[in-house]
Amino acid sequence: MAPIEPPMEMPTLWDFVTPFEEPQCPKIEQDENMGPWKFHMTLNKTLWNKFIRGMYHTTSAWPVSEACFGDEAIQSVETFADILSKVENLDFFNISEEQILIAFKTLTDMAFKDKNDCSLTKPLYDGLHWCTEKPAVCVYGKDTMARVWDNRLSIASGIMNLADLLWPRDESCMKDTEIIETLGAVTENVAALASTTSGFDYTWDQA
C-alpha cells in the first residue's frame, strides 16, 4: 500500500512577500565605508550643520565652520581611541610621546576649540534671548495657528519629506554616507518644522 502523502499547503500572501524582504545588495567595498570614529565624527558634523540649517532657515550648505568636527578632529579622536585601547590591554610601552601629546590636545579641543568652531552655545543663547524678547510667542504660543496657516505649503512639504525619510526600509544595503545623509535630512526637517511653528526668527550670522 502506497504511503499517504500529506496534503499540500496552500501558498499564503507571506510566501509572495518574503522574496522581496531580502534584497540582494550590491557589494560594498571596504573603502566605501568609514571606520567607527570617522563615522561618529562625520555624523556629528552633519547633524549639527543640518540642525542649524533647519533652525535658522539658512540656505548655506555648511553654515558651521569647516573646522567643526573636521579632519583634524577625526585624526585626534582616532589617536585617542588607539591610546585607550593600549591602556585597556596594559600595553603602556607602545604609547608614543606624540600620541600622548595628541591625546591632551584632543581633550583641550573638546573643551574649548570645538565649542568655538562649532558655535555650540549660539543656538542656546539665541533661544534664551528670543524667549526674553517675545515671551508671549515663546512661552504661550501666541499666533501659532496663524504661522501654521501662513507657512502651510512649506510645513506640508516638510511633513511629506519626513514621511518619506522615515518610511520603513532595509538599511542593510545603505553605505555609511547614505545613512548620514538620511539622518541629516531628518534632523533638518524636524528643526525647520519646530522653528517655523514656534515663531523663532533669528538669523545665523556666523562665518
Give pLDDT, residue 127.
93
Residues 207 and 171 in one domain: yes
142: phi then psi, degrees, rounded to nearest 5: -60, 135
Same domain, yes or no: 140 and 115: no
- The model carries a pTM of 0.72
Q: What are the tens digits of pLDDT across the range 36-83?
A: 778 888 898 999 999 999 999 998 888 988 888 777 776 677 676 777
Looking at the structure, tell me whether residues 99 and 127 fall in a common domain.
no
Region 98-107: what's the mean pLDDT?
Answer: 69
Domain presence at residue 84: yes
Same domain, 138 and 74: no
The residue segments making up the domain with residue 40 are 34-44+65-120
The per-residue pLDDT for range 26-36, each reduced to its tens digit, is 655 555 667 77
Do 105 and 39 reside in the same domain of the chain?
yes
Q: Mean of the pLDDT values across residues 126-151?
A: 93
Q: For the chain, what is the domain count?
A: 2
Q: What is the 3-state secondary structure (H, E, C) of the chain?
A: CCCCCCCCCCCCHHHHHHHHCCCCCCCCCHHHCCCHHHHHHHHHHHHHHHHHHHHHCCCCCCCCCCCCCCHHHHHHHHHHHHHHHHHHCCCHHHCCHHHHHHHHHHHHHHHHHHHHHCCCCHHHHHHHHHHHHCHHHHHHCCCHHHHHHHCHHHHHHHHHHHHHHHCCCCHHHCCHHHHHHHHHHHHHHHHHHHHHHHCCCCCCCCC
How does residue 19 score in pLDDT terms, banded at 50, 70 and 90? very low
Residues 127 and 112 grouped into a single domain: no
Same domain, 186 and 112: no
Question: Both 140 and 95 in a single domain?
Answer: no
Whether 58 is in a domain gets the answer no
Judge whether 150 lies within some domain.
yes
Residues 149 and 191 in one domain: yes
Q: What is the mean pLDDT of the chain?
A: 79
Task: Please tell me whether residues 103 and 135 are part of one structural domain.
Answer: no
